[in-house]
Structure 1
Amino acid sequence: GGGDRTTSVITVCGSESGFLFVWRDRHLWSDVRAHDGAVRAVCTSSDRRDGFLSGGDDGVIKMWSLKDRKLDNTFHVDCNSLLRSPLAQGCSLRCLATVGGGGTWQKVAFGTDRRVLYEFELDQKDSKRIKIVNNSLREINSAPSPSGCSALAPHPHSSFFATAGSDGVCRFWDLTSHAPLCELQLKEDCKELDWHPGDFQHLAVGLGRGGVRILKYEGITQSSFLLSVLLSLDQRTCGVQKLRYSPDGTYLAVATDDKTIDVYLVAQDYSRWGVCKGHSDQIINFDWSEDGSVVRSNDKSYNLIFWRVEEMRRGIIEPCRTTAEFADMSWASSSCPLTWSTQHVGKFYEAVSHIRDLDRSKNGSLLAVADAFGYLRVFTFPSIDRGRCLSYQAHAGGCGHVAFSYDDRKVLSAGSRDGCVMQWKVQLIPTEATSQVVSPQGRRQIVDSFNGEQQGGLQESAAGAGGLQVE
């Protein structure tokens, strides 16, 4: 509401039929048909007591002047004409905000039903001809999916990453600009993503209904992002839990809801090599050894099982009977929560199912953990006995995925319900500052997260641990 609050209160509201209503105290003061479709957003400003903005399903932003009980439309812009991206066409306005000063609106920010925020500047030198400043439109932020981000995969060699969700859209983002590069409509519930580590430039997409799609990435040109569906693997009808390429790219392993892991040969058009059978409960996660010969996996019954991929008989890969031989084996990743090098992580949780994802940094010094409570935790690696961690409240409703970027400078976390991907900058904490438990004041000096306010608390500090700053 605007107006002189000492005498009366002016309230503006919009309707599903496209009308704007202006109320003075409890009485209807004025009304006008403002939009073709529902009014979704109304924005007033403390610097403009006599005017406000409105936005609706028609994708139009209008500026209104309120004088003598009459609404005058002083400026309007059709966002569908303003936004050049084909991904933005046919959008509907969902929110509006302004930045003002000196009695004028200097900037206008708006959000669309495509989960994208934009802003532009206004030229109001001539009050009778208000216009948008040339080249001032820019994208502020985007959200991956309205129904949660169920898959996340940074490219192993480049500064972009892929996300996917139950909306059936695979999206690609730039780590530097935070902007979307393109999207591919798969029209299927997507659960998991992983890039091929070699020169094939394949992206494997695990589906919620079962099956895998292999996408072929051919590069980025000035005008387009070259991507296509290469082939489909439909041997399974139960959902994909996890999938991961072997370090040398020879195999693709896919864990499904039926407690098995399928292993495919990449060079032979992804023909199925064998099936790992032996788990008694749903598989949580798995890792490849550095030489690509062994897979280790955890399930919800707290089992840790090892599999030698080459020891396949009649299509079945049996669990290894002895595990002592794997004690000193090097692993390409550390995604299993129930291993020797990650045993301290489990002490933070009552059930292993609360741990949603783990990722070890490429240099092997840090371990990032996503959990069901929306926390992102960073441990020193290996985290064996007295490992300590930094803890951040990252997401609402659960943190489903976490991953380091190709150069370990960034950490990406994906919300399983809030539909957000958070990008964090890794800041190493000096050893002398972390030799003991740090005071709350010291925490704020060491880790500057969430725009300067520590969220979730630094539970423990550790020499060499990484601090994260949200970008």
Structure 2
Amino acid sequence: KCSNEAVFAADFHPTDTNIIVTCGKSHLYFWTLEGNSLIKKQGLFEKQEKPKFVLCVTFSENGDTITGDSSGNILVWGKGTNRISHAVQGAHEGGIFALCMLRDGTLVSGGGKDRKLISWNGNYQKLHKTEIPEQFGPIRTVAEGKGDVVLIGTTRNFVLQGTLSGDFFPITQGHTDELWGLAVHSSKPQFFTCGHDKHITLWDATTHRPIWNKIIEDPAQSAGFHPSASVVAVGTLTGRWFVFDTETKDLVTVHTDGNEQLSVMRYSPDGNFLAIGSHDNCIYIYGVSENGRKYTRIGKCSGHSSFITHLDWSVNSQYLVSNSGDYEILYWIPSACKQVVSVETTRDLEWATYTCTLGFHVFGVWPEGSDGTDINAVCRSHGRKLLSTGDDFGKVHLFSYPCSQFRAPSHVYGGHSSHVTNVDFLCEDTHLISTGGKDTSIMQWRVI
């Protein structure tokens, strides 16, 4: 065990592979590997005031260890010793969260509070100073790219690219809070995400970059494209829902249904209806006209005794199937907001999408001993040959469709460090998109 306190970094010494350096809250340790055991030596701050946190570590060309700390100091520790040989006091205002030694021997430090990127020569004299704009947030990590390119990661989940002597620009951005909303464009390699951080983003799956981004007033939970893909509907945690123009990102309309979370926004295949699944146990039905620009409330489907989790439309746009938090499967005629109880009517219906986690065609996805909440999302491929799921264990599964044998075999893929909240196939089934909850990440998988 390294410490009773938090550990922020651990790194092998680049020239002496028997030495590991670790740092964290109130400590810096030099570990020497001897046989099967590690011998620990504590870094001695001596006259230097001991910082509350040693945040990052790197190494110079001559083998010295370099640390950045919460006091804004860069400290150099002589090779093979646990003592400070040089100190750059107040290198940054606030903590230094990142240190990167470039190939040419230049040291780059990244500040949190001051958002500054500073380069230093071999004698620790300042060379360049750049301040990252506030909109991107404080610097958390710095890496060297090709040539003289430097890459920066920030607390607002931007990755910036630039050079020490020039400007930095974002090459991608991420969400900064839980991410549940995902919708896929019907004809282009594009998809849409929305999260609790109030950010909504249309993405290009080919370049992996945002086409546009917008901040809305409420935390967002769900999204759905109109079949024409001319508009996208966004459901929030407050019962409000918005419709935006896909091309211009302009607001088309805003409505409110109840005051609880809207978990599903699903347009009918013919584009004439919008079904909205709410945590108030109801499904709100709207008539849609003018290519997704005009909405008229038809009514609400009441009958579930728990919150709505998933919805799917029949191919002919005349029926709706819904799942709820207490594991009910109900069928509806949405144009009349009536429940269908006849098994003969619903038995052979063809579904335009399959996102319900409960149903005959998907019961094989559930592992033994699961409690019904372990699988957050299911998605059938457009070619109807594959079925993907996202679960609470950070895994994306790929099954054959239909998946109606107990504990069906699957391919399992890791990558998320948190529960997987949503999955969807891109329009031509070439790729799958998955979204993470607490890890706030979006992953793109190639289907082979």
- Identity over the aligned pairs, expressed in percent? 25
Q: 1:320 to 1:184 in 2, by over 3 A?
A: same
- Note if contact 1:54-1:61 (Cα within 8 Å) is conserved in structure 2: yes
- Note if contact 1:13-1:22 (Cα within 8 Å) is conserved in structure 2: no
Q: Deviations over 1:124-175 (max 9, x none)?
A: xxxxxxx56xx9x7755432x1212121112112222111111111112111
Offset at residue 116 of structure 1 (A): 1.9
Alignment partner of 1:341: what SS? helix
User: Which residue is equivalent to 1:327?
Assistant: 347
- Note if contact 1:59-1:90 (Cα within 8 Å) is conserved in structure 2: no
Query: Structure 2 residue aligned with 1:210, among 229, 235, 239?
Result: 239
Residue type of the partner of 2:98? A
Residue type of the partner of 1:230? V
Offset at residue 388 of structure 1 (A): 2.9
TM-score between the two structures when normalised by the length of structure 1? 0.75
User: Which residue is equivalent to 1:385?
Assistant: 405
User: Which residue is equivalent to 1:264?
Assistant: 286
Q: Deviations over 1:162-212 (max 9, x none)?
A: 11111111112111100122211103110000010026x121100101121
Q: 1:26 to 1:336 in 2, by over 3 A?
A: same
Number of aligned positions between the proteins: 383
User: Which residue is equivalent to 1:75?
Assistant: 128
1:279-318 matched pairs, under 5 angstroms = 279-310=304-335, 312=336, 317-318=337-338
2:215 is the counterpart of 1:195: no
Offset at residue 229 of structure 1 (A): 1.2
Q: 1:379 to 1:306 in 2, by over 3 A?
A: same
Where does the alignment leave 5 or more consecutive residues of structure 1 unmatched?
A: 81-87, 123-130, 220-225, 428-471
Q: 1:44 to 1:349 in 2, by over 3 A?
A: farther
Offset at residue 214 of structure 1 (A): 1.2
- Note if contact 1:276-1:307 (Cα within 8 Å) is conserved in structure 2: yes
Query: Structure 2 residue aligned with 1:401, among 410, 422, 431?
Result: 422
- Note if contact 1:93-1:112 (Cα within 8 Å) is conserved in structure 2: yes
User: Which residue is equivalent to 2:153?
Assistant: 111
The CA distance in 1 between the partners of 2:403 and 2:438, in whole Å, is 28
Alignment partner of 1:305: what SS? strand
The CA distance in 2 between the partners of 1:91 and 1:301, in whole Å, is 41
Q: 1:120 to 1:216 in 2, by over 3 A?
A: closer
Where does the alignment leave 5 or more consecutive residues of structure 2 unmatched?
A: 1-57
Greater alpha carbon shift after TM alignment, 317-326 vs 334-343:
317-326
User: Which residue is equivalent to 1:12?
Assistant: 67
Q: Deviations over 1:224-257 (max 9, x none)?
A: xx11111111131111121200111111101111
Q: 1:423 to 1:65 in 2, by over 3 A?
A: same
The CA distance in 2 between the partners of 1:76 and 1:304, in whole Å, is 60
User: Which residue is equivalent to 1:43?
Assistant: 100
2:272 is the counterpart of 1:241: no
Alignment partner of 2:110: what SS? strand
Residue type of the partner of 1:391? V
Alignment partner of 1:326: what SS? helix
User: Which residue is equivalent to 2:173?
Assistant: 142
User: Which residue is equivalent to 1:350?
Assistant: 370
The CA distance in 2 between the partners of 1:332 and 1:114, in whole Å, is 37
- Note if contact 1:167-1:187 (Cα within 8 Å) is conserved in structure 2: no
Alignment partner of 1:95: what SS? strand
User: Which residue is equivalent to 1:52?
Assistant: 107
Offset at residue 109 of structure 1 (A): 2.1
Residue type of the partner of 2:363? Q
Alignment partner of 2:310: what SS? strand
User: Which residue is equivalent to 2:17?
Assistant: none
- Note if contact 2:172-2:209 (Cα within 8 Å) is conserved in structure 1: yes
The CA distance in 1 between the partners of 2:171 and 2:338, in whole Å, is 51
TM-score between the two structures when normalised by the length of structure 2? 0.78
User: Which residue is equivalent to 1:30?
Assistant: 87
Alignment partner of 1:370: what SS? strand
Alignment partner of 2:358: what SS? coil
2:117 is the counterpart of 1:61: yes
The CA distance in 2 between the partners of 1:239 and 1:380, in whole Å, is 32
Alignment partner of 1:343: what SS? helix
Residue type of the partner of 1:352? G
Q: Deviations over 1:11-48 (max 9, x none)?
A: 332334x4433344333622233335543322235x56
- Note if contact 1:250-1:265 (Cα within 8 Å) is conserved in structure 2: yes
User: Which residue is equivalent to 1:360?
Assistant: 380
User: Which residue is equivalent to 1:174?
Assistant: 204
The CA distance in 2 between the partners of 1:39 and 1:173, in whole Å, is 32
- Note if contact 1:349-1:355 (Cα within 8 Å) is conserved in structure 2: no
User: Which residue is equivalent to 1:183?
Assistant: 213
Residue type of the partner of 1:108? V
The CA distance in 2 between the partners of 1:322 and 1:192, in whole Å, is 30
For the aligned residue pairs, the C-alpha RMSD in angstroms reads: 2.6
User: Which residue is equivalent to 2:140?
Assistant: 94
Residue type of the partner of 1:96? V
Residue type of the partner of 1:142? Q
User: Which residue is equivalent to 1:275?
Assistant: 300
- Note if contact 2:212-2:249 (Cα within 8 Å) is conserved in structure 1: no
The CA distance in 2 between the partners of 1:355 and 1:161, in whole Å, is 22
- Note if contact 2:106-2:121 (Cα within 8 Å) is conserved in structure 1: yes
Q: Which runs of 4+ in 1 moved over 6 A?
A: none
Residue type of the partner of 2:108? L
Greater alpha carbon shift after TM alignment, 190-199 vs 413-422:
190-199
User: Which residue is equivalent to 2:192?
Assistant: 162
- Note if contact 2:74-2:88 (Cα within 8 Å) is conserved in structure 1: yes
User: Which residue is equivalent to 1:469?
Assistant: none
2:75 is the counterpart of 1:21: yes
Offset at residue 114 of structure 1 (A): 3.2
